[in-house]
Protein backbone atom coordinates (compact mmCIF):
# COMPACT_ATOMS: atom_id res chain seq x y z
CA UNK A 1 0.00 0.00 0.00
CA UNK A 2 1.11 3.53 -0.67
CA UNK A 3 0.20 6.69 1.20
CA UNK A 4 0.71 10.37 0.41
CA UNK A 5 0.54 12.80 3.34
CA UNK A 6 0.63 16.55 2.83
CA UNK A 7 0.14 19.56 5.06
CA UNK A 8 1.70 22.66 6.50
CA UNK A 9 4.77 22.91 8.70
CA UNK A 10 4.41 21.37 12.15
CA UNK A 11 0.91 20.11 11.35
CA UNK A 12 1.45 16.54 12.56
CA UNK A 13 2.37 14.97 9.18
CA UNK A 14 5.50 13.20 10.39
CA UNK A 15 3.84 11.76 13.52
CA UNK A 16 1.00 10.35 11.45
CA UNK A 17 3.46 9.00 8.87
CA UNK A 18 5.58 7.30 11.54
CA UNK A 19 2.57 5.63 13.17
CA UNK A 20 1.28 4.56 9.76
CA UNK A 21 4.63 3.10 8.66
CA UNK A 22 4.99 1.11 11.91
CA UNK A 23 1.45 -0.25 11.51
CA UNK A 24 2.07 -1.19 7.86
CA UNK A 25 5.35 -2.92 8.74
CA UNK A 26 3.49 -5.10 11.24
CA UNK A 27 6.73 -6.10 12.95
CA UNK A 28 8.71 -6.32 9.69
CA UNK A 29 11.46 -4.12 8.30
CA UNK A 30 10.65 -0.43 8.17
CA UNK A 31 12.88 2.31 6.92
CA UNK A 32 12.98 6.03 7.53
CA UNK A 33 14.28 7.54 4.30
CA UNK A 34 15.98 10.74 5.45
CA UNK A 35 16.17 13.29 2.64
CA UNK A 36 17.15 16.57 4.33
CA UNK A 37 20.63 17.97 3.84
CA UNK A 38 21.34 20.24 6.77
CA UNK A 39 22.32 23.79 5.95
CA UNK A 40 22.70 25.00 9.51
CA UNK A 41 21.53 25.06 13.10
CA UNK A 42 17.79 25.21 12.36
CA UNK A 43 17.99 22.16 10.08
CA UNK A 44 20.16 20.33 12.64
CA UNK A 45 17.50 20.95 15.29
CA UNK A 46 14.73 19.70 13.02
CA UNK A 47 16.73 16.55 12.24
CA UNK A 48 17.42 15.94 15.95
CA UNK A 49 13.72 16.39 16.73
CA UNK A 50 12.71 13.88 14.03
CA UNK A 51 15.27 11.35 15.29
CA UNK A 52 13.98 11.74 18.86
CA UNK A 53 10.36 11.44 17.70
CA UNK A 54 10.94 8.05 16.10
CA UNK A 55 13.24 6.64 18.79
CA UNK A 56 12.11 3.21 19.90
CA UNK A 57 9.87 2.73 16.86
CA UNK A 58 12.26 0.29 15.16
CA UNK A 59 13.07 2.37 12.08
CA UNK A 60 16.28 1.76 10.19
CA UNK A 61 17.44 5.11 8.80
CA UNK A 62 18.51 5.25 5.16
CA UNK A 63 19.92 8.54 3.94
CA UNK A 64 18.88 9.40 0.41
CA UNK A 65 19.42 12.96 -0.69
CA UNK A 66 18.73 12.92 -4.44
CA UNK A 67 17.79 9.65 -6.17
CA UNK A 68 15.10 7.85 -4.17
CA UNK A 69 15.72 4.60 -6.03
CA UNK A 70 19.30 4.48 -4.70
CA UNK A 71 18.06 3.50 -1.24
CA UNK A 72 16.94 0.16 -2.67
CA UNK A 73 20.60 -0.81 -3.03
CA UNK A 74 20.73 -1.40 0.74
CA UNK A 75 17.08 -1.69 1.82
CA UNK A 76 14.66 -4.57 1.22
CA UNK A 77 11.93 -3.44 -1.17
CA UNK A 78 9.53 -5.77 0.66
CA UNK A 79 9.83 -3.50 3.69
CA UNK A 80 7.91 -0.36 4.55
CA UNK A 81 9.43 2.99 3.60
CA UNK A 82 8.69 6.36 5.18
CA UNK A 83 10.02 9.05 2.82
CA UNK A 84 10.33 12.26 4.82
CA UNK A 85 10.24 14.40 2.86
CA UNK A 86 9.40 14.78 -0.81
CA UNK A 87 9.92 18.51 -0.25
CA UNK A 88 13.58 18.13 0.72
CA UNK A 89 14.26 15.51 -1.94
CA UNK A 90 12.93 17.86 -4.64
CA UNK A 91 14.98 20.76 -3.28
CA UNK A 92 18.16 18.67 -3.29
CA UNK A 93 17.55 17.48 -6.84
CA UNK A 94 16.57 20.86 -8.22
CA UNK A 95 19.30 22.93 -6.56
CA UNK A 96 22.33 20.59 -6.33
CA UNK A 97 25.27 21.71 -4.19
CA UNK A 98 27.72 20.28 -6.71
CA UNK A 99 26.34 22.73 -9.31
CA UNK A 100 26.55 25.74 -6.95
CA UNK A 101 22.82 25.45 -6.25
CA UNK A 102 21.92 26.48 -9.79
CA UNK A 103 18.38 25.46 -10.68
CA UNK A 104 18.07 22.23 -12.67
CA UNK A 105 14.51 21.79 -13.98
CA UNK A 106 15.36 18.52 -15.71
CA UNK A 107 16.49 17.11 -12.36
CA UNK A 108 13.15 18.12 -10.84
CA UNK A 109 11.31 16.12 -13.50
CA UNK A 110 13.61 13.12 -12.95
CA UNK A 111 12.99 13.36 -9.20
CA UNK A 112 9.21 13.26 -9.71
CA UNK A 113 9.55 10.34 -12.15
CA UNK A 114 11.70 8.39 -9.69
CA UNK A 115 9.31 9.02 -6.80
CA UNK A 116 6.42 7.56 -8.80
CA UNK A 117 8.66 4.65 -9.85
CA UNK A 118 9.62 4.08 -6.21
CA UNK A 119 5.96 3.98 -5.17
CA UNK A 120 5.48 1.05 -7.53
CA UNK A 121 8.72 -0.72 -6.62
CA UNK A 122 8.20 -1.27 -2.87
CA UNK A 123 5.64 -3.16 -0.81
CA UNK A 124 4.62 -0.18 1.35
CA UNK A 125 5.53 3.49 1.12
CA UNK A 126 4.47 6.57 3.04
CA UNK A 127 5.43 9.87 1.40
CA UNK A 128 5.43 13.13 3.37
CA UNK A 129 5.34 16.48 1.58
CA UNK A 130 4.91 20.08 2.65
CA UNK A 131 1.99 22.04 1.25
CA UNK A 132 3.97 25.15 0.23
CA UNK A 133 2.41 26.12 -3.09
CA UNK A 134 -1.04 27.49 -2.29
CA UNK A 135 -0.50 31.03 -1.08
CA UNK A 136 -1.04 33.99 -3.38
CA UNK A 137 2.30 35.67 -2.76
CA UNK A 138 4.69 35.87 -5.70
CA UNK A 139 8.24 34.74 -5.04
CA UNK A 140 11.48 34.78 -7.01
CA UNK A 141 11.60 32.90 -10.30
CA UNK A 142 13.56 30.01 -8.80
CA UNK A 143 11.21 29.69 -5.80
CA UNK A 144 8.17 29.72 -8.08
CA UNK A 145 9.78 27.04 -10.25
CA UNK A 146 10.46 24.96 -7.14
CA UNK A 147 6.89 25.34 -5.88
CA UNK A 148 5.56 24.33 -9.30
CA UNK A 149 7.88 21.29 -9.50
CA UNK A 150 6.90 20.17 -5.99
CA UNK A 151 3.21 20.62 -6.77
CA UNK A 152 3.65 18.51 -9.91
CA UNK A 153 5.45 15.74 -7.99
CA UNK A 154 2.78 15.84 -5.27
CA UNK A 155 -0.05 15.58 -7.82
CA UNK A 156 1.64 12.63 -9.49
CA UNK A 157 2.23 10.87 -6.18
CA UNK A 158 -1.33 11.56 -5.03
CA UNK A 159 -2.61 9.99 -8.24
CA UNK A 160 -0.32 6.96 -7.82
CA UNK A 161 -0.88 6.37 -4.10
CA UNK A 162 -3.70 4.31 -2.63
CA UNK A 163 -4.46 6.84 0.11
CA UNK A 164 -4.07 10.62 0.18
CA UNK A 165 -4.25 12.51 3.47
CA UNK A 166 -4.03 16.20 4.28
CA UNK A 167 -2.96 17.09 7.81
CA UNK A 168 -3.85 20.44 9.34
CA UNK A 169 -3.40 21.32 13.02
CA UNK A 170 -3.24 17.63 13.89
CA UNK A 171 -6.49 16.82 12.07
CA UNK A 172 -6.46 14.22 9.28
CA UNK A 173 -8.51 14.76 6.15
CA UNK A 174 -8.60 11.70 3.90
CA UNK A 175 -9.14 12.71 0.28
CA UNK A 176 -8.65 9.27 -1.26
CA UNK A 177 -8.63 5.76 0.18
CA UNK A 178 -8.60 5.19 3.91
CA UNK A 179 -6.25 5.17 6.89
CA UNK A 180 -5.79 1.77 8.55
CA UNK A 181 -5.22 3.40 11.97
Give residue-wise pLDDT tens across range 98-147: 888 999 999 999 999 999 999 999 999 999 999 998 788 889 999 999 99
Torsion of CA 17, 19, 20, 21, to 10 degrees: 80
**Residue 100, in any domain of the structure:** yes
The string of pLDDT tens digits covering residues 80-91 is: 999 999 999 999
The string of pLDDT tens digits covering residues 9-68 is: 888 899 999 999 999 999 999 999 999 887 788 878 887 888 888 889 999 999 999 999
Is pLDDT of 165 > 80?
yes
What's the number of domains the chain is made of?
A: 1
pLDDT for 54 = 83
Band of the pLDDT at 181, cuts 50, 70, 90?
confident
From CA 32, how far away is CA 29, in angstroms rounded? Answer: 10
DSSP 91-113: HHHHS-GGGTT---HHHHHHHHH
| CATH classification at residue 78 | 3.40.50.300
Q: Indicate the pTM of the whole model.
A: 0.94
- On the question of a cis peptide bond just before residue 97, with omega within 30 degrees of 0, the verdict is no
**Residue 1, in any domain of the structure:** no
**Residue 2, in any domain of the structure:** no
Residue 91 structural domain: 10-176
**Residue 78, in any domain of the structure:** yes
**Residue 181, in any domain of the structure:** no
User: How large is the greatest C-alpha to C-alpha distance in the chain, in angstroms?
Assistant: 46
**Residue 3, in any domain of the structure:** no
Amino acid sequence: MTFFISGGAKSGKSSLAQDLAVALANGGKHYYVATMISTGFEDDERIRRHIADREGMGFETVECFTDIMACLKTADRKGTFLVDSVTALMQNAMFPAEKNYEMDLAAAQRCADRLVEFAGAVKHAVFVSDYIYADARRYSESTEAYRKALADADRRLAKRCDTVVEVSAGQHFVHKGELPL
